[in-house]
Amino acid sequence: MKNHLKIHKLVLAAMFAALAYLLPFLTGQIPEIGAMLCPMHIPVLLCGFLCGWQWGAVVGFAVPLFRSVTLGMPPPFPTAFCMAFELACYGAVCGLLYRSLPKKKWAIYASLITAMLVGRIVWGAVMFLCVGMSGGSFGIAAFLGGAVTNAIPGIIAQIVLVPILVMLAEKLNKRN
């Protein structure tokens, strides 16, 4: 039975990785808001919740780098590199918190919002280091613009969709 669970998580993680890879194609058709929707974030967050922190971290780290290498989007450095740390953080933090908190609805929101905050801080820190090593500057205004202002549609989508999808998946899992 334990081997069955590992295979189940592996298949789900692969599905979430594929979704994270493909969703930007859909949102990219709307250039004005495509990037603002943060299309890779939702599958990575779901992976952390439903597959565990390890899978969430691996999928989150791998997808932006793999998309960058295979498609050139996001641009490799510093964008994809910094996103890899941000998304790995999302998957790991939401998975760790959700596993350790009581299985209540509020725990989904607490895990999600904490992961989103920590992930954005990690993105900002890595971006600060990368831009600084390249001789540029990355200040608080650039951080707030990239992590918050430009991402408001994606933040709203994550807060609305992720808890609903996690609750639905858990409900379906209890039936099986």
CA nearest neighbour of 105 among 52, 59, 156, 167: 167
In order of start, what are the domains of the chain with their CATH numbers? 2-175 (1.10.1760.20)
Sequence-ordered list of residues with C-beta below 8 angstroms from that of 67, at least 6 positions apart, any chain: 21, 24, 40, 73, 74, 80
Q: String of b and e for 20-31 (b: at least 16 CB within 10 Å)?
A: bbebbeebeeee
Question: Cis (ω within 30 of 0) for the bond into 75?
Answer: no
For 12-54, how does the pLDDT look when each residue is reduced to its tens digit (9 = 90+)?
999 999 999 999 998 877 766 777 899 999 999 999 999 999 9
2 vs 17, more confident:
17
pTM summary value: 0.95
Q: Greatest CA separation found in the chain? A: 55
For 131-147, how does the pLDDT look when each residue is reduced to its tens digit (9 = 90+)?
999 889 998 999 999 89
Query: d(Cα 97, Cα 119) in Å, to the nearest integer?
Result: 13
